[in-house]
Structure 1
């Protein structure tokens, strides 16, 4: 169980980044659909499970496809690093009143220091952070329910699909594709340390936890309309200074875990340490831009490209199977 918990924490730690822990990502991709957002959350959770299960078993034998896939992971890692550096700086400015440039640089220093200790350090920090964040979010949810601050719209949630689901289907597709590919380098690294069956079980549990966390955060955001204009809406929902401090601290640490996941993505894509460091520095400089703008524009862009990558990998797998049958 300890090994499975370590894998679950690593998978969740790579997915629960700045957008997730601050609520911005959940609000943009799901909360905008109000009471029907539960359908899109369910679909995203299922897709994340299926894509991760597919990626763990995939073996890319075609050299051209492998180059394209590694190039995507490289681009993906760069863009996500830019957003994460920006988020760390924005968080420091919004909640501590310190220049975001200072906190962006702090994110760079801390992440490099942790990553130098290898995969085990990444696993250990994820185990602590994911546990604290999950417990805190559930506690805030239960406190809100107890105070009757959470409004459950059960009458609106009928057992039928929303009429306009086809128009909004792109949102869960982009979200699940992006986050699954974000977790891929981490899972790929875990394959050297853990058995494949342990990773598969962990993916199942991780997908269930993602669904629960997305649903809880989404419900909280829908019930607190005053926070929805903030770049960090989840961090503004709790009035308790202690719980808000824990949330903000977790957000800082979750951004770090996502940065570490993207460092692993760089290592997967390129094998030159000097080139990796240059890319990280460029990402750091670009990360001085506004967090909300970067997240919404770049995440969607990478989601669209990711859909093409998944389609290409699936097609290559089908063609390979077809050749074997012949």
Structure 2
């Protein structure tokens, strides 16, 4: 059991760390997909949490069954060889865009909170990513196992502080003029997008772990953790609406209410969560490209990082608001096929 418990925690923390990226940790995704819909957000967050638990496990189990080397193998199993290959090409472009969002988010944190230039923040993050990615999947598991527990702890602190501040009940009383179709399509788009992106690291992770029960429990733990952080973020942001919308890093604006020391630590954790997702996505992207090009791994990582740097010049806010809904719409088709795909036994078992 100690061995299985350790695997469950690693899977759960890695799952949370992969999904809790720039848009999530900074609060932009929570604002865009949940908080703007007022009191409906609690139900839509519960809806998303269910899908994270169910389909996260299913994705990792399927990866083990087919012996997937990268997310391209999973897409071929879902869509068929030809269409799956085209989907993987599109995913490559999407992941580059998402990684640019992660990098832009890191640069914005340096600028808005630490009075360090945006470009310096980008370069520091890129160097740290390269050094970490040279160590492979073990580095990703280790980083998430350290960062995510602290993020959960500070989420509890943030929630406690919110319940003891004015406007604590706005998450219950806030209303919206948006249609029910738009309200309920938002969590579907959000979940579809994040699950499609998470396959970059969850597929190779699921292929490596032979313990199917550990995968199921790890997905349950990770999905509940994601749902908890979504709800806590929504409650905190709601209490500061509508003023908090002016920040590119909304959760940073909320953290300012906690005092300088707590704010500094929380902002550092937001950066760390962005970093964990960035290295996970780039790792998955490199695995997919290694199946197609005969470029040394370190050089390939450098090329990917340089492309992400160039894309990050667009800025964090515009990237999130423009790219995420578009990619989420595409991911809906992927989500439906994941729901319909049946799982059996791991290949060779």
What is the TM-score when the length of structure 1 is the normalising length? 0.88
5+ unaligned residues in a row in structure 2: which ranges?
Answer: 67-75, 345-349
Counterpart of 1:207? Answer: 223
Q: Does 1:250 align with 2:269?
A: yes
Aligned residue-pair number: 315
Kindly report which structure 2 residues correspond to 1:1-326, keeping only aligned pairs within 5 A, or say none. 1-58=5-62, 59=66, 60-61=76-77, 62-147=80-165, 149-151=167-169, 154=172, 164-191=179-206, 192-193=208-209, 195-225=211-241, 226-238=243-255, 239=257, 240-271=259-290, 272=293, 273=297, 274-311=299-336, 317=341
5+ unaligned residues in a row in structure 1: which ranges?
Answer: 322-326
More off after superposition, 186-195 vs 12-21: 186-195
Distance 1:260 1:70, change over 3 A: same
* Deviation per residue, 1:193-227 (Å, 9 max, x gap): 45222111111121112111111110111111232
Distance 1:213 1:66, change over 3 A: same
Q: Structure 1 residue 314: deviation in Å?
A: 5.9
Q: Structure 1 residue 28: deviation in Å?
A: 1.0
Aligned structure 1 segments of 4 or more residues deviating by more than 4 angstroms = 152-157, 312-315
Q: Structure 1 residue 140: deviation in Å?
A: 1.7
- Contact in 2 for aligned 1:69/1:309 (Cα 8 Å): no
Distance between the aligned counterparts of 2:217 and 2:37, measured in 1? 31
Distance 1:230 1:153, change over 3 A: closer
Q: Structure 1 residue 152: deviation in Å?
A: 5.5
Distance between the aligned counterparts of 2:301 and 2:171, measured in 1? 48
* Deviation per residue, 1:124-152 (Å, 9 max, x gap): 11111111111011112112323455126
What is the TM-score when the length of structure 2 is the normalising length? 0.83
Q: Structure 1 residue 81: deviation in Å?
A: 0.9
SS at match of 1:228: helix
